[in-house]
Structure 1
């Protein structure tokens, strides 16, 4: 009678036997004396570093979600044309953001109109007109010496700090200040009346397939080196372990039992690594509250891993440790009298190693040429293809190292020691650099992809930064002349070109014809048009301006009634100031000036020709040329601007600007890459120390026989340099191939950013060189005669 599995006594006994073998291996891991504990701790540290980064990755979705929710909860602009009437639950709010050096300071001016006015998230009570509530980071900056210029710009008394609920990051600079008299200025685009925070009608963003592809590839590229390092960490101490397993064979265990015991040892190190990784993650989680990487910060509460992803890490790491150990022991014959690995190993096969990258290319091939027109990319094919290509690097590198070192010739003593060691254990050397090779290959591919599609997400602003470097926009009613004088007196400002600007319509409401009106002195007007002659009191009509479109200004005969600041249906009512086209108009020719490729049409007026009744319908603008050699010149301009009027807006000009979502992904890549590089460096150092510890007696014996320490140190450097050079060459080839495929998938012409390729390769080499130099002090200690002592 056949019983199902679990009811058969033989099956149950075999299962108990396997479990007992695993348990025995775990016991050996912790009862092997100092050597055993050292091996387990090294494995646990290596695995723990990888687990910490995996947990960090598992926490990223929650961190992004919380960050988005907090940003949405404090939204105070609804983009609605419907005006909210004044009531006891309304608040007038003004956007008074400012920049300080390379960062942005989020600022709002608040005027509560009733006892039930909504408080901003994280604020306990409204500040008075001369008070402000600030974020902890801004308070620290204002109290420091480096915040002197910003203190002049924000001369309000700090009465409280914004709580965590009102901030999106611990390093965010933000403030809320009290204000009076904002209600009459509500028509200003930066001032609104609200009765609650948050967007009541959030509009969904269209999904960009290329950006989704970027996000997917970024995650795969950042996580692959982590997986490679974890797989390498569970094999720490492999040679010593195999010698112990040979002793077990001598006392009666068979080969399968021996492998299960080895798997138990690896599982013990992995489980301890899970504990270490959790501890590392918790420490890093607390540090996240005070760290800022590429302008991004968070709070410890953000970094809470998704339970399902955390469970997946907890299960996958020990399972991977067992699987990697069993696979590694397939090529090792452990006999009672020793380990058959000291002899010449069988040559590695190339054919199956080539199948991995070829299979990856096969998965990606169906999406070549798809671009944005073909919809979203298949995430499973993308993930599988990229993973197989990068895993192919780890499979090919041992074969490449073995094939190259087998052909290396003679040289100095240090060279010979290094080459002989690599010829005996090329697999160990390849494992050490596998992670860095995968990271560099992925980084090169992403660099190519980012460089290739950068133009699609970067647009020209049209601003000619050779003509002006900053622009100051003044609120309606602020005279431009005195403001320009104050700006000219600011340290770091070479010149200021002021204009008053507005728009004319042929009707007071919903005009068919719109023309621009610009007021400035003759010097300023000559910057934007070619004038026949100019004296104060002249009025010019700009003929044939491209910016006027099909409208011909010659049709506006003198005496024609126009309206400055016309109103439009559905928008707040404007001033609709009447103005008649004057007699004696002079013709002017357009000239590109303020904006590089855009001319300025309409009417040009000198100050005496402007009637005072027009002043409310015009806004002042000052265009500034700066002395770039003056330190903090831009911040000095911002401080002067705030003194002119708190609602005046200084803007730094740039010739191009990037898509916000594209820039966010790019920043996320830099943050993730910084974390992965830190892991790579730490894991490589642990791996290097483990390799040196394995050879402690050999190094001590060579020194005892008269080998110079310098020679041994150089041999260690050569042992690191040869595999890393081969690994970086292979990584460059794989990265260029993957990058070319990704560009073809996005229907982008293939181009290689050689500077980026060399930079990524150089960073990888620098990490390895730094780790090697850090391992020299332990190497010198291991060369002492005490290294020959044994237990």
Structure 2
């Protein structure tokens, strides 16, 4: 064979794909759609790192509170370039709303990104998504919380996502609220550069990330490999004509590879178009509270080039591999004869090789070094590829032993016996996806405990905690919250701290002020009446007992060199009683210091106190949480509200899980779309057969059931096999992470149910075209 034979034969196959009549271009179009869907998802996946980086860059560029917390960057005095900014973030129906109050102090005060001019006091500029929400009926309670007039829209540079809820509101008197945490004075926007280089990521989280990427991308690769084989039987019959004019077997295979190459290249073009459409759609939707702008989704040039090369190359290789057992002769294709039984031994080598790669990393966990990324990726890939290798053998072995049953059952079984490989290819992608999903569910469930810790909050005694800054009487807070619809109970107290000296005290103590009922929710008290003072000394606290001496003068909010305080004097009078710790204190395990009833203090100390309220809600009242937020905002725009939870989870772990859900949503869409295309291609292949059966009197109901059985049998086998390998992979990954091996059967069954549901939906969608194909006039030919 000359060196130029390959290019000539491939070029001939490309011409056949587009000039071979209706059959040629229909097959090329189906291949292009199937490949295009996979390519689009690959491009979107390769764009995710850029999208995350773009979100982080936008967030850094608009950072303000980070500057306030970083003392070196904050100006202490007002100037022509200074701006006072306050954090007024809020939540609305489990959605975060980013809010900032702005007060420019000079003509050259920095504008936030995306804002053309400062809103005046009582006005605000909002993100497009927030403007849309405030105009809707769903945003009525939020509108009550934000008593500002909308005068503009925040531009894209000031937002991290297209569906982000954010606003900037004008205010005055903010300088009095500067505390170095939630409010401060800045002269620019932008994050402080971190010179530390950041912390190294937990090895188990690295393992999770690697497995998520492999599990999400493997079904895409399987679907692309399946798509390039659409219409293979008809194509091979057409190639038999080449043998009549002198082509040898090698040439026909190269021509077939050329046809697949044409479909793959056309699929790249389709994929680019699908990617552009998907990118625009992604800019208008929000998945699991995560949104992006279309401009964020720019694939890495290297990864995009790799996709552009790998897809056509894989199309050629897959076609040559598929034709290895097909004999194309001048008078026909030897494919309908009974093929030799598939061998099992080499198919078992793939998962065994995967286990061999993963075995050396057993038990490493998070404390015994990093996992080898290449071995993890290779091992997981081989185990999942093992599903695609074992499924054709399982389908063949199963259907070979079946026969008796209804007419529809026999039709389906006979078809599967003749083309079990085609049936297995249709469900390979869903089997790989389910196997990977089961393994990931086991891994997430197994390591979740290591990244989840108890908060110590008793959600049976309080659901929300409200903190209001200086100047708002605690009695008013308790009264207004108690009158809020949906509030069942309120415990309101004030907090502060004292020292033995006005400046730079050496001994300090925490102070909690409230009536006897409120203080009993914090600690165990002896007899209590208004005017009493208690000391709650813990083993680690020796200062409180020394400070709580009758006749001693203490100072609320004393000053240090770096932070001015109020320095309000207060003298301890009368007996100081001893209190005991309470395990279920509303303050948790941070309770210590002095407990004081209101009459023991004078009103002069009020400016040095912060008020807190612990709120228990009535679960039968809708939107009770939102109403508490509204009351808190009316009391003080800078009020903080925290929702109590029994546990809290690592942010990195939560981000990885969110990424998995987003990716799984996209993959499920691809699974459904690709399965539908494959099903339609199979129906097109059998058009004349179906028409002939109808012409001979076969009922349409029988044929429809046969098509359903032809899909149900392989998917049942595929889900069984994927479940077994998924459990095996999940157990191995848990062993690697050092977590105990447990099986979350609910998650396993739900994953299998999702896979079965996708196939059922595709089957139902394919019924209308099936009914159109079952007509006697389908026997017409040219």
TM-score by length of 1: 0.95
* Aligned residue runs from structure 1 range 108-119, under 5 A: 108-119=100-111
Deviations 1:595-641 (A, max 9, x none): 48537332222221222122122110011111111111111111111
Correspondence for 2:198: 205
- SS of alignment partner, residue 652 of structure 2: helix
Pair 1:15-2:7 in alignment:
no
The verdict on how the C-alpha distance between 1:676 and 1:290 changes in structure 2, with shifts beyond 3 A counting, is same
How many residues matched?
Answer: 776
In the alignment, the residues of structure 2 paired with residue 595 and residue 343 of structure 1 have an alpha-carbon distance, to the nearest angstrom, of: 78
In the alignment, the residues of structure 2 paired with residue 453 and residue 210 of structure 1 have an alpha-carbon distance, to the nearest angstrom, of: 8
1:287 Cα offset (Å): 1.1
Correspondence for 2:322: 328
Pair 1:779-2:741 in alignment:
no
1:514 Cα offset (Å): 3.2
Residue among 174, 177, 189 paired with 2:181: 189
The verdict on how the C-alpha distance between 1:414 and 1:531 changes in structure 2, with shifts beyond 3 A counting, is same
Deviations 1:635-689 (A, max 9, x none): 1111111111111112211111111111111111100100000000000000011
Residue among 381, 386, 389 paired with 1:395: 389
Pair 1:94-2:86 in alignment:
yes
- SS of alignment partner, residue 579 of structure 2: strand
- SS of alignment partner, residue 775 of structure 1: helix
* Aligned residue runs from structure 1 range 11-410, under 5 A: 14-76=2-64, 77-78=66-67, 79-82=69-72, 83-85=74-76, 86-187=78-179, 189-202=181-194, 203-207=196-200, 208-410=202-404
In the alignment, the residues of structure 2 paired with residue 440 and residue 340 of structure 1 have an alpha-carbon distance, to the nearest angstrom, of: 35
In the alignment, the residues of structure 1 paired with residue 535 and residue 301 of structure 2 have an alpha-carbon distance, to the nearest angstrom, of: 69
- SS of alignment partner, residue 536 of structure 1: coil
- SS of alignment partner, residue 84 of structure 2: strand
- SS of alignment partner, residue 337 of structure 2: coil
1:376 Cα offset (Å): 2.6
In the alignment, the residues of structure 2 paired with residue 350 and residue 506 of structure 1 have an alpha-carbon distance, to the nearest angstrom, of: 82
1:409 Cα offset (Å): 4.1
The verdict on how the C-alpha distance between 1:407 and 1:550 changes in structure 2, with shifts beyond 3 A counting, is farther
The verdict on how the C-alpha distance between 1:322 and 1:200 changes in structure 2, with shifts beyond 3 A counting, is same
1:749 Cα offset (Å): 1.6
Residue among 695, 701, 706 paired with 1:704: 695
Moved more, 48-57 or 529-538: 529-538
1:205 Cα offset (Å): 2.8
In the alignment, the residues of structure 2 paired with residue 257 and residue 625 of structure 1 have an alpha-carbon distance, to the nearest angstrom, of: 79
In the alignment, the residues of structure 2 paired with residue 785 and residue 590 of structure 1 have an alpha-carbon distance, to the nearest angstrom, of: 87
Residue among 642, 656, 664 paired with 1:651: 642
Equivalent residues of 1:560, 1:580 under 8 A apart: yes
Deviations 1:321-359 (A, max 9, x none): 000000000011111121111111011111111111111
1:413 Cα offset (Å): 1.2
In the alignment, the residues of structure 1 paired with residue 474 and residue 228 of structure 2 have an alpha-carbon distance, to the nearest angstrom, of: 70
The verdict on how the C-alpha distance between 1:81 and 1:643 changes in structure 2, with shifts beyond 3 A counting, is same
1:80 Cα offset (Å): 2.0
Correspondence for 2:554: 562
1:726 Cα offset (Å): 0.8
Equivalent residues of 2:535, 2:548 under 8 A apart: no
In the alignment, the residues of structure 2 paired with residue 257 and residue 303 of structure 1 have an alpha-carbon distance, to the nearest angstrom, of: 42
Moved more, 323-332 or 645-654: 645-654
Equivalent residues of 1:532, 1:588 under 8 A apart: yes
Correspondence for 1:689: 680
Equivalent residues of 2:544, 2:593 under 8 A apart: no
Equivalent residues of 1:593, 1:599 under 8 A apart: no
In the alignment, the residues of structure 2 paired with residue 619 and residue 649 of structure 1 have an alpha-carbon distance, to the nearest angstrom, of: 11
- SS of alignment partner, residue 15 of structure 1: coil
Correspondence for 1:574: 565
Equivalent residues of 1:528, 1:599 under 8 A apart: no
1:592 Cα offset (Å): 3.2
Pair 1:788-2:779 in alignment:
yes
In the alignment, the residues of structure 2 paired with residue 36 and residue 21 of structure 1 have an alpha-carbon distance, to the nearest angstrom, of: 16
Moved more, 252-261 or 200-209: 200-209
1:365 Cα offset (Å): 1.8
Deviations 1:449-490 (A, max 9, x none): 111111121122211111111111001121111122111111
Equivalent residues of 1:231, 1:321 under 8 A apart: yes
Equivalent residues of 1:464, 1:596 under 8 A apart: no
Equivalent residues of 2:9, 2:254 under 8 A apart: yes
1:167 Cα offset (Å): 0.6
In the alignment, the residues of structure 2 paired with residue 562 and residue 339 of structure 1 have an alpha-carbon distance, to the nearest angstrom, of: 100
Moved more, 399-408 or 233-242: 399-408
* Aligned residue runs from structure 1 range 502-521, under 5 A: 502-521=496-515
1:530 Cα offset (Å): 2.8
1:188 Cα offset (Å): 5.6
The verdict on how the C-alpha distance between 1:565 and 1:377 changes in structure 2, with shifts beyond 3 A counting, is same
Pair 1:601-2:589 in alignment:
no
**Runs of 5+ consecutive residues of structure 1 not aligned to the other structure:** 1-10
Moved more, 75-84 or 691-700: 75-84
* Aligned residue runs from structure 1 range 578-589, under 5 A: 578-589=569-580
Correspondence for 1:7: none
* CA RMSD between the two structures: 1.7
Correspondence for 1:612: 603
1:279 Cα offset (Å): 0.7
Equivalent residues of 1:88, 1:113 under 8 A apart: yes
- SS of alignment partner, residue 589 of structure 2: coil
In the alignment, the residues of structure 2 paired with residue 599 and residue 198 of structure 1 have an alpha-carbon distance, to the nearest angstrom, of: 34
Equivalent residues of 2:549, 2:576 under 8 A apart: no
1:549 Cα offset (Å): 4.3
- SS of alignment partner, residue 330 of structure 1: helix
Equivalent residues of 2:70, 2:192 under 8 A apart: no
**Runs of 5+ consecutive residues of structure 2 not aligned to the other structure:** none
Extract structure 1 runs of 4+ deviating beyond 3 A: 506-514, 548-552, 566-569, 592-597
